[in-house]
Amino acid sequence: MKVKLINNDKKDFMDKYNGRPIVIPAGKAAIVEDYIAYHFIGNPEIINYNGEADDKILERDAERKRIWLRYGAFKPADRAKKVPKLVIEPFEEVDIKIVDAKTEKKEEAKDEFPGLKKKKGK
């Protein structure tokens, strides 16, 4: 599933995923696969978990540590400076139908019930 990855930082975001460079200019967004976004800032459902299930808490803590280690933000004071200010928003892909204006008019002009046309002379 694709998501919109928004860079809310004052500087460009530059990193790599699977050997490919990813650059998102400051204040701009990129459309990426969700797993690529999670690679950079973690899965929001896991990172933001506030429930009581022990297994989910352990998963949340591990994901947070992975992100902190990725950006060298070992101290809580460093996290605001070093972890990129990226936000994930849903992105819905829409199939776009391109219509030729001439073709559209011809289709509109077609009679909806061609068998019911009045015959000439009657």
- pLDDT tens-digit readout, 81-103: 999 999 999 988 777 777 776 65
Query: Which residue in 41, 34, 11, 51 sits closest to 90, CA to CA?
Result: 34
DSSP, collapsed to helix, strand or coil, labels residue 63 as helix
- pLDDT tens-digit readout, 32-71: 999 999 999 999 999 999 999 999 999 999 999 999 999 9
- Over residues 1-22, the mean pLDDT reads 94
Q: Is the pLDDT of residue 22 over 70?
A: yes
Rounded alpha-carbon distances, angstroms, from residue 71 to 68, 82, 98, 100, 122: 5, 6, 44, 50, 85
At residue 115, the pLDDT reads 60
Q: Determine the Cα–Cα distance for residues 47 and 89; give it in Å rounded to an integer.
A: 15
